[in-house]
Structure 1
């Protein structure tokens, strides 16, 4: 009889402990959600540091004074495949006018990125967000996603979905120093 009571006490203690942990986590998550608020137009672009396909490190803050066309993409994304050649064409026009493209691949292995670049050769930096940390900071859920950052480091436009070459040109014109 005493053994059954002891087992019941242990089980109740475990259940109460699990419930206490769940309540504590819920409170923690609700109090810290503002730290991960959505990046919006008018915000200073969150800084990041990523490695490109050549192993060179790129930090967003290194591009201060330039207009940044920050594009998040994936090799599996059909609209990304469509807009990459258009981005390359416009980069050739605007790179000498103070506009940079940073193409951030979201979480894919080098092999897939290399195969993509064999098919779509690009002259702008292709950065690897292996752990999706930058994607999370910028709250990216749909690809492609493009952030226009003016020379002062402020986000002036956020665009999700496929961009036409005309729209890319207009966007780059808007962030030209």
Structure 2
């Protein structure tokens, strides 16, 4: 019995140390930092690299199909994307490691007319140190993070954020 308890405690200590080391590796992003580049594939099989959007504002949204606030804000994001996509503002919606079928159904149901990407191995989520969903980062045309929003956004919020990252 003592051996089992000792093994459990040792495992917990090793896990804590590992977690601390990997967290430091990614760091915590802050306003003013350069947004880490990444490449993910959308539901149509097209690759999207964040650096390809340099010169445009990027509304980078992390979400999940099970997330109630995500369900409420996606239609508003779609409507605002229609208004701002020709003004140099892009939405990249990054789903966290769910199946293509589940994400495709969600995207169709909630009118996601913008690139919908799946972070299958959670590498981008870790690089951005995303905790609660939804989390949105506003990235200016130079690739700098200008705002980090956690939680649900209203349509008015989304519109205002898109104005903030619109080029020139």
Q: TM-score, normalised by structure 1?
A: 0.82
Q: Which structure has the bigger radius of gyration?
A: 1
Q: 1:44 to 1:117 in 2, by over 3 A?
A: same
**Count of residues in Structure 1 that have an aligned counterpart in Structure 2:** 159
Q: Give the whole-Å Cα distance in 2 for the aligned partners of 1:117 and 1:25.
A: 36
CA contact (8 A) 2:74 2:110 kept: yes
Per the TM alignment, residue 29 of structure 1 is displaced from its structure 2 partner at its CA by 6.7
Per the TM alignment, residue 94 of structure 1 is displaced from its structure 2 partner at its CA by 0.5
Q: Give the whole-Å Cα distance in 1 for the aligned partners of 2:33 and 2:159.
A: 23
Per the TM alignment, residue 123 of structure 1 is displaced from its structure 2 partner at its CA by 1.5
Q: Greater CA deviation, 122-131 or 33-42?
A: 33-42
Q: Give the whole-Å Cα distance in 1 for the aligned partners of 2:96 and 2:15.
A: 28
Q: Give the whole-Å Cα distance in 1 for the aligned partners of 2:79 and 2:20.
A: 45
Q: Give the whole-Å Cα distance in 2 for the aligned partners of 1:145 and 1:82.
A: 14
- The aligned counterpart of 1:165 is 155
Selected match of 1:37 from 27, 30, 34: 27
Per the TM alignment, residue 136 of structure 1 is displaced from its structure 2 partner at its CA by 0.6
| Structure 1, unaligned runs of 5 or more | 1-21
Q: Greater CA deviation, 99-108 or 33-42?
A: 33-42
Q: 1:23 to 1:142 in 2, by over 3 A?
A: closer
Matches within 5 A, 1:1-177: 33-177=23-167
Q: TM-score, normalised by structure 2?
A: 0.87
Deviations 1:3-29 (A, max 9, x none): xxxxxxxxxxxxxxxxxxx99998777
| Structure 2, unaligned runs of 5 or more | 1-11
Per the TM alignment, residue 35 of structure 1 is displaced from its structure 2 partner at its CA by 2.4
Q: Give the whole-Å Cα distance in 1 for the aligned partners of 2:109 and 2:21.
A: 46
Q: Give the whole-Å Cα distance in 2 for the aligned partners of 1:23 and 1:75.
A: 33
SS in 2 for 1:139: coil
